[in-house]
Amino acid sequence: MRIDRRSFMAGAAALALPAQARTAPALVADKPMAAPKWAVMQRQLLDANAEACETFYAQYVDARDHLKVFERWGANDGPDDAAEATNDWFLLHALGGSDRLRMLASRFWEGHLRQFTAARTTDVPIARQGMYYREFPVQMDWQHNAEGLTSFNVMGLSVPRDPRLLARTKRYADFYTGRDREARNYDPRLKMMRSLMNGSRGPMLRQATPLDWAGDPFDPRPFHMEHGEQTYRQTLDHYAEYGDVIGDNPLNLQATTLGLNAAALGGGERFRRWALDYLGAWAERAARNDGLLPSFLRPDGTVGEDWWKGVYGWGFSPLVPQTGEREDRNRVPRSITAFMGGVLMSGDMGFIDLWRRQTARLNEASRKVKGVLSAPTMYGAEGWYGWKPGPYRTNGFEIWYMSQRKDDRALAGDDPWIAFLEGRKGDYPAQALAADLQRVADRVAARQKDDTTPQTRLADWPIGINPASVKSLVQLMTGGLHIARPPWSKTSPPQGGVPLHCRLRYFDPVARRAGVPADVGALVHRLGDRETEVTLVNLGRQARTVTVQGGAYAEHRIDAVTLDGRTMAVGGRDFTLRLEPGCGARLGLAMSRYANRPTLAFPWHR
C-alpha cells in the first residue's frame, strides 16, 4: 500500500480551508409519537450513570480530589491507571449527561495531576522528582500513556473553549512535534519517535530495565495484582524482556490524537499537519515492508529485516514468570486507531486501505493447524506463528466502520449492533440499554461490597468499579464506536485515549451545551457510506430544540435532510430540529463523510 504524497498533502491543504459562514436550517417535528421503550431507557441510563458516579466519587476520591490509593509508579498500577478512574464521565456529559458529571470529572483531572506531580519514586530514576512533570507522565510507553489520556482526549467534546484545556493540549502535543526543547521525543527530519519510552522528560535512549517498568520495591500480597504476581520479584520478572525500547514503534502514533485535538480546539493547523505527516511516513514504511506495518524502526529511521522486533512488536512473546510459558503480546493492532484519526483529519481512506491489505497478507499466510485452517497473529525470526483458528479479523470491525464498503462487511464479523443496523435485530436497542443498566447496578454493588482501603488498593482497582456505562448510548444515539478497554467487540483489541468516532452528535442550543436536551432520545437506525437514518423524540411536556451535527468533530457534511417525505438541502456541518412536546420524527440524512476539517467548536461558535 502506498499513499500518494502529492494527493495526500493536497487533500490535507483543501481541508485546512475555513468553512464558509452559513445559517443552519431549522426543522420542526410536530407529529405525536408514543414514547419508545428505547428512549425511556436512554433517559434512565443517563440518570443511573449520574447517580452512580456521584457515589463512586465520594468513596474513592478525597477532599483534595486525589484518588484514595497506594501511589506507585509502574506500567501495571501507576499514574496512567489513576487517570482512568473517571473514564467516560466526560463522554456521558457530551451525550447529554448531567453537568455535575462534567464538574466532578474536571475536579478529578486537576486533583490527580497535583497528586502524581507530588508523588515520587525512590529507586526508579526518571520519576524521583515526580511521576508527572509539566502535568504529563515523565516517561512511559504509549499503550499506557494513551490509556491515561482516555478522559483528557474527549474533554473538548464538552468544554472546547476552556483556555486551560487548549494550553495543555498544545503543550502535550508539542512534547511530540519536535517543538519542545526539553522533550526531544520526535525527530522531524526522520519523521520518527526516538524511543518506545517517552514523555515530558524526553525519550529513554538506553535499554530499559525491569525496574523502569515495574516501579519501586513493594510487597504485592495485600493488593489485587492484575497479572497475579505474588512477590516483587515476579513483578520485576514480568518485564524481564521489555528492554528493547530504542527506536520507533507504531504505538507511538497514538500521540497524534493530541495533534488532532490541538488543531480542533483552535491551536493551529501545524498540529494537524504534523500528525498527518507522521502517520503518512508510517504508511509508506508499511508499503515498503510488503504491506505489513513494522513494529520496529531503527534509530536511523530505517526498516530492516528485524522489522518485527521491539517491545509489543510482531515477535514479542515474553515469558510469564508465574507459569513459565510464553504469552503473545503483539500490540501493533492497537495502532489502527491512530490511522482512523488520520482519516478523520484528512478524509484519506488510504489510511484504512493499509489495514485491509495487512489483513489480506495475514490471511494469505494461513495454514492448517491440527486440521483447521488458521491465521497467524505473530512474526519472528522463524517466520509466522501464533496461529488462531479461522480467518484473521482483528480490527475488522474498525475497517468496515470507517470504509462502509460491502466487501469489508465480512471482516466485521457477526455483531448484534450490525444486525440491528441491517434490520435483522429489532430488539437490540432495548437489550443493549438493559445490559448497560445492569452494568451500572453491578458496579454499584461491587462498590458497596468493596472492603479495600487506600493502603490495600492500587490505582488500577477503581477502574473495575467505575460505574460509567456508555457503550449502548454511543452506538444507539450517535451511530458510533465506544473504543475502550476491555475490548468493545470480539475482533477489536482493548484501547485507551481514542477520540470519539461517530456519525452524529447533538447539542442543546437553548442551554448552550453539548448533548441532547432533557427529555430527548435519539436512535440511529441505519448507517451507509452516504446516508444515515435517525429517530429523535421528545418525551417531555415542553418543546425541545436539538442541533444535529455530522460527526464528533463536525467532520461529516450533512447534504440534505428528509422529514415526512420532504427533503431540505443543508450543505453544512449541522441542522436544528424543534421537537414539540410528545412528538418525534424519523429523519433520513444524505451525508458526505470526512468532507470537513475537524473542529470541536460548538455550532453557534463556528
Locate the domains of the chain by residue range.
1-30+503-606, 160-208+243-401
What predicted TM-score, i.e. pTM, was given to this entire model?
0.95
pLDDT of residue 437: 98
Strand partners, 550: 504
- The answer for residues whose C-beta is within 8 angstroms of residue 305's C-beta and 6 or more apart is none
CB-based burial of residue 389 (10 Å sphere; 0-12 exposed, 13-18 middle, 19+ buried)? exposed
Which architecture, in CATH terms, is 1-30+503-606?
Answer: Sandwich (2.60)
Locus of grid cell 451535527: 549
Q: What is the largest CA-CA distance in the chain?
A: 70
Ranges 122-126, 223-227, 437-441: which has the least confidence: 223-227
Place 4 in a pLDDT band, splitting at 50, 70 and 90: very low
Sheet with 531-538, edge to edge strand ranges: 520-527, 531-538, 584-592, 557-563, 566-572
Distance CA 214, CA 220 (A): 12
Distance CA 518, CA 47 (A): 11
The grid coordinates of residue 547 equal 442541533
Q: Which residue has the higher pLDDT, 226 or 504?
A: 504
Whether the predicted pLDDT of 286 surpasses 50? yes
Radius of gyration of the chain (CA): 24
Instruction: For 58-78, write each residue's pLDDT tens digit.
Output: 999 999 999 999 999 999 999
Whether the predicted pLDDT of 182 surpasses 70? yes
pLDDT of residue 11: 41
Indicate the DSSP class of residue 222.
T
Whether the predicted pLDDT of 8 surpasses 90? no
- The answer for residues whose C-beta is within 8 angstroms of residue 163's C-beta and 6 or more apart is none
Average pLDDT over the chain reads 94
Q: Are 8 and 558 in contact (CB under 8 A)?
A: no
pLDDT of residue 263: 98
pLDDT of residue 6: 36
- Directed axis angle between helix 336-346 and helix 350-364, to 10°? 150
Distance CA 327, CA 319 (A): 6
Place 26 in a pLDDT band, splitting at 50, 70 and 90: confident
The proportion of the chain whose per-residue pLDDT surpasses 90, expressed as a percent, equals: 93
Q: How many CB atoms lie within 10 A of CB 530?
A: 11
The three-class DSSP label of residue 71 is: coil
pLDDT of residue 499: 96
Distance CA 396, CA 44 (A): 32
pLDDT of residue 23: 45
Instruction: For 322-339, write each residue's pLDDT tens digit.
Output: 999 999 999 999 999 999
Q: How many CB atoms lie within 10 A of CB 414?
A: 8
The grid coordinates of residue 262 equal 490541538
Instruction: For 403-443, write each residue's pLDDT tens digit.
Output: 999 999 999 999 999 999 999 999 999 999 999 999 999 99
The grid coordinates of residue 417 equal 449492533
Mean pLDDT over 441-448 rounds to 98
Distance CA 382, CA 97 (A): 52
Mean pLDDT over 256-281 rounds to 98
Whether the predicted pLDDT of 505 surpasses 50? yes
Helix, strand, coil share of the chain (percent; to 5): 40, 15, 45
Q: Are 556 and 404 in contact (CB under 8 A)?
A: no
